[in-house]
Structure 1
Amino acid sequence: MPAPELPPPRSSLPEAAARYGAHVLAAAAARAHDVKAATGGPPDAVSVPGLPAAVLVPDLPAAPAPGHPAAIAVPAPATSLDLVEAEAPTPDAGLERLLRGPSGLGTAGLRLVLREAPPTPPSLSSPLPASLPSPLPSPAETLGEAAVDTAEGTPVPGLYHHPVPEPDPVRVEEVSRRIKDWAVDEVSLFPDDWEEEFDGFSVGRYMVACHPDAPTVDHLMLATRLMVAENAVDDCYCEDHGGSPIGLGERLLLAHTALDPLYTTAEYQPQWAESLRADAPRRAYRSAMEYFVQAAGASQADRLRHDMARLHLGYLAEAAWSQEGRVPEVWEYLAMRQFNNFRPCPTITDTVGGYELPADLHARADMQKVIALAGNATTIVNDLYSYMKELDSPGQHLNLPVVISEREGLSERDAYLKAVEVHNDLMHDFEAEAAALAEACPAPQVQRFLRGVAAWVDGNHYWHRTNTFRYRLPDFW
């Protein structure tokens, strides 16, 4: 989705300093750093108008040191993409309500933001842009207008989303090659008969689409390893490949120690260390986290551990319902989905981007709300696109359409359409909250982080829509 609409440029920041203190900006700038392990160099910095010359705020990282592997540059900003209404079949009443967008008091002022046109694929030596592109206001007056998607795959009709440029094929190919080498050679993640499924996941295309500001492939690999490891835990502990709700708490606890190390006595430390090599998910967690902590700041690593604990807590709630044979209330399901969701992915967007959002800015209540809404919306996208895949699997899989149908007595079709509405409401809330935060806290790191989270939300939808190997839509239209 587009970045939140930001305030116009200011010649100085006296108002911001009055709001929460100039010392916060100075301290944030002092703590911000480049991902030295991935780039091999110190952070670049740029002066911010209105701040003393000695106060520097980091911008995009410097190019990797000579000889650094796969130093693939970010494409330069391109022109905007015009928004036009998407063609759609004549809808019935339920679908028409989705397609026309929100209505009523207060909705007329909601605005879209223009996306960039697909960039020209960069050469391996093309320079990094001086800064991330700023969002532009859209001429659209309501969220009811849609944009044309040019990539393969069919978007869910009525789903509020934004098209993204096709991910750079050079980067996609390199990330795909490296992640398979890591999965096969470093952590022995899957047997040979899972190879087609691994390839069909298209994780390279996924991560390149979600992190357009990553300065190098090494930065992208930080997110890619974690994504693959998280899916291995989900599949092997919870879902398709031998997962079970029985004993899940113990398995998750032991896996979590691969992210959040155990500190115990000398007698028992070797046994714990050996347990991390016991199965594929733990090996993957351990390796992915080791790469991440070498590149991330201390607060960034601890932030990820916290969000992974949230994820595991959500797994346990869903497992409890499975053991009880109970379908939760819709509000209960949505509460679970705020924990069992994609939140660990956008929360690391600064590490993957080669900079750091300082802990006090990340911990702001309004920032936490924005991140939570992003995670919630992107996870309902997964519920909608994986709906048919889960119906074809043995047993009952809980997703939002299934829960709405069961608890509110709606047909499968009407429940699915209502789930689309829930997603759209979450997306509108995310955009409104992100725009308000961008206005209230104009620190450069906050602005860039919000753009990164917005890009992740859009890239996540792009991957779900285009991954026709895994997903197909129900025939409800």
Structure 2
Amino acid sequence: MPEPGLSPLQSSLPSAAAHFGPHVLDQAGSVGVEAADAAPSTVPVPAAVPEPAPAPDLGRILRGPSGLGTAALSLARPPVEPPVVEPPVEPPVEAPPVVPPAAVVAPVVEIPVASAPAAPADALHIPGLYYHPVAEPDPARVEELSRRIKDWALDEVRLYPEEWEGQFDGFSVGKYMVACHPDAPTMDHLMVAARLMVAENAVDDCYCEDHGGSPVGLGGRLLLAHTALDPLHTTAEYQPRWAESLHEDAPRRSYRSAMEYFVRQATPSQADRFRHDMARLHLGYLAEGSWAETDHTPEVWEYLVMRQFNNFRPCPTITDTVGGYEIPADLHAQPAMQRVLALAGNACTIVNDLYSYTKELAGPGRHLNLPVVLAERENLSDREGYLKAVEVHNDLMRDFESEAAALAAACPVPSVLRFLRGVAVWVDGNHYWHQTNTFRYSLPDFW
């Protein structure tokens, strides 16, 4: 079938960030970045915002290296002296625009920005929850991605037995990934995100949760699975046996295959970034598993520490790979960017705690989530604990948006602006998927 077109792009990144995009791209000679958000921002923007000076370390990065032979490596475009033009005899011919070097500007995909409609009538609604509605993802892309990811799960990695097919379909991977990555240029780019999402859930379900998971021996299983992402380098005698082990269960088969596709699309620095975030995720799994083994209820702040690691961060952190561009590694590593990514991942994860609350209570054993921990540790009723968890989520969302806007103002590099916008789109798409996935989720009767 023909390649489906791009979905409309929407974003919760406040308009303060969008203010800087066109300004900087105009200076660079680019076509610009969409300035309108699909949902109204709660962050006021002055009529004229002075461009702040970058922090010292950020200024060093933007200036680039110095010394013999390094002039071409700078991220900042050097000023161009205007040419001296003699008075023409004939009418002057307009000179072609100056095109910036490819390394300066992230590729900009021209996508019409549609106003976001209200959520579908059958969607779940949590009163008081702060979020941004998004446009319905492109149904043609959803259908095609759903078909391709199911073929991969069945034919390439033998992910699940026949009796789990309904659960796989009910997860709605296609809708999820199209909503989170509307600027993905091709289906192959979307498949990179979809495979990794499915593989991460296979590890969680089969190692940690209700499809055979257990905290007993979890560390060993996660370590072996992690080598499908971060390969073993050992002697020729022992390398073959390790390679064989990557095919021994569905989680490792999924990780191995998804990572092979990912590294073909990603740069080495993007791949290394993803491995780092997956190590964070596995550390969070281990912390939650250790508390389950000892029947420990953490303090609220301890639970939030665990959730900063056991969260969705590996998904939005690949937004540039899926979008077909790259944010420079030095800019991605900036503390301000790391804070933005942490807040985005934390907000997305508390959304999961809220929408999966009744599902987890109905499951076997005792499952920790933020409403449960708040109720027990702060001596609240179940309803009060849930409502306070909504407040925690809202605070995280607003902090994420204000920090993202501040970073966009301090570092108005086109790839950074596009990356921040992509992360914000991912946050909104993640909420949309939870809100509309009534196959998996329902809400408590607290209102």
Q: Structure 2 CA distance, aligned partners of 1:190 and 1:170?
A: 26
Counterpart residue number, 1:77: 112
Indicate yes or no: 2:421 matched with 1:448. no
Deviations, residues 209-243 of structure 1 (Å, cap 9, x unaligned): 00011011110000000000000000000001000
Counterpart residue number, 2:311: 341
SS at match of 1:398: coil
Q: Following superposition of structure 1 onto structure 2, how do residues 115-154 of structure 1 map, counting pairs within 5 Å?
A: 117=116, 148-150=118-120, 152-154=122-124
Counterpart residue number, 2:251: 281
Counterpart residue number, 2:94: none
Instruction: Give, in angstroms, the shift of residue 156 of structure 1.
Output: 1.1
Q: Structure 2 CA distance, aligned partners of 1:192 and 1:301?
A: 33
Counterpart residue number, 2:231: 261
Structure 2: which amino acid aligns with 1:472? S
1:156 to 80, 104, 126: 126
Counterpart residue number, 1:2: 12
Q: Structure 2 CA distance, aligned partners of 1:415 and 1:306?
A: 33
Contact 2:355–2:435 (8 Å) recurs in 1: yes
Deviations, residues 45-100 of structure 1 (Å, cap 9, x unaligned): xxxx9x98446534437xxxxxxxxxxxx783134x3xxxxxxxxxxxxxxxxxxx
Q: Following superposition of structure 1 onto structure 2, how do residues 230-245 of structure 1 map, counting pairs within 5 Å?
A: 230-245=200-215
Contact 1:29–1:58 (8 Å) recurs in 2: no
Pair 452,407 (structure 1): closer, same or farther in 2 beyond 3 Å? same
Indicate yes or no: 2:63 matched with 1:23. yes
Structure 1 gaps of 5+ residues are 31-48, 62-73, 82-116, 119-147
Contact 2:146–2:174 (8 Å) recurs in 1: yes
Counterpart residue number, 1:143: none
Indicate yes or no: 2:107 matched with 1:60. yes
1:431 to 377, 401, 416: 401
SS at match of 2:159: coil
Indicate yes or no: 2:293 matched with 1:323. yes
Contact 1:176–1:203 (8 Å) recurs in 2: yes
Q: Following superposition of structure 1 onto structure 2, how do residues 367-378 of structure 1 map, counting pairs within 5 Å?
A: 367-378=337-348
2:137 to 167, 172, 175: 167
Q: Structure 2 CA distance, aligned partners of 1:24 and 1:151?
A: 52
Counterpart residue number, 1:414: 384
Deviations, residues 165-194 of structure 1 (Å, cap 9, x unaligned): 000000000100000000000000000000
SS at match of 2:264: helix
Instruction: Give, in angstroms, the shift of residue 306 of structure 1.
Output: 0.2
Larger Rg: 2
Pair 169,269 (structure 1): closer, same or farther in 2 beyond 3 Å? same
1:358 to 328, 334, 340: 328
SS at match of 2:309: coil
Contact 1:208–1:220 (8 Å) recurs in 2: yes
Pair 15,420 (structure 1): closer, same or farther in 2 beyond 3 Å? closer
Deviations, residues 294-330 of structure 1 (Å, cap 9, x unaligned): 1100000000000000000000000010011111000
Structure 1: which amino acid aligns with 2:286? L
Q: How large is the RMSD of aligned CA atoms in angstroms? A: 2.2
2:222 to 241, 252, 265: 252
Instruction: Give, in angstroms, the shift of residue 151 of structure 1.
Output: 5.9
Q: Structure 2 CA distance, aligned partners of 1:388 and 1:290?
A: 36
Detail structure 1 runs of 4+ shifted over 6 Å in the superposition: 13-19
Pair 452,55 (structure 1): closer, same or farther in 2 beyond 3 Å? closer
Contact 1:184–1:190 (8 Å) recurs in 2: yes
Contact 1:60–1:215 (8 Å) recurs in 2: no
Contact 1:58–1:355 (8 Å) recurs in 2: no
Indicate yes or no: 2:432 matched with 1:462. yes
Q: Structure 2 CA distance, aligned partners of 1:238 and 1:413?
A: 27
SS at match of 1:471: coil
SS at match of 1:57: coil
Q: Structure 2 CA distance, aligned partners of 1:412 and 1:15?
A: 46
Instruction: Give, in angstroms, the shift of residue 29 of structure 1.
Output: 5.6
SS at match of 2:385: helix
Q: Structure 1 CA distance, aligned partners of 2:298 and 2:404?
A: 30
- Structure with more relative contact order (C-alpha pairs < 8 Å, separation 6 or more): 2
Aligned length: 381
Pair 394,55 (structure 1): closer, same or farther in 2 beyond 3 Å? closer
Q: Percent identity?
A: 71
Counterpart residue number, 1:122: none
Counterpart residue number, 1:212: 182
Q: Structure 2 CA distance, aligned partners of 1:173 and 1:52?
A: 38
Q: Following superposition of structure 1 onto structure 2, how do residues 27-106 of structure 1 map, counting pairs within 5 Å?
A: 27=73, 53-54=100-101, 56-60=103-107, 76-79=111-114, 81=115
- TM-score with structure 2 length normalisation? 0.81
- TM-score with structure 1 length normalisation? 0.76
Contact 2:195–2:258 (8 Å) recurs in 1: yes
Q: Structure 2 CA distance, aligned partners of 1:177 and 1:258?
A: 25
Q: Structure 1 CA distance, aligned partners of 2:140 and 2:121?
A: 17
Structure 2: which amino acid aligns with 1:2? S
Q: Structure 2 CA distance, aligned partners of 1:75 and 1:172?
A: 20
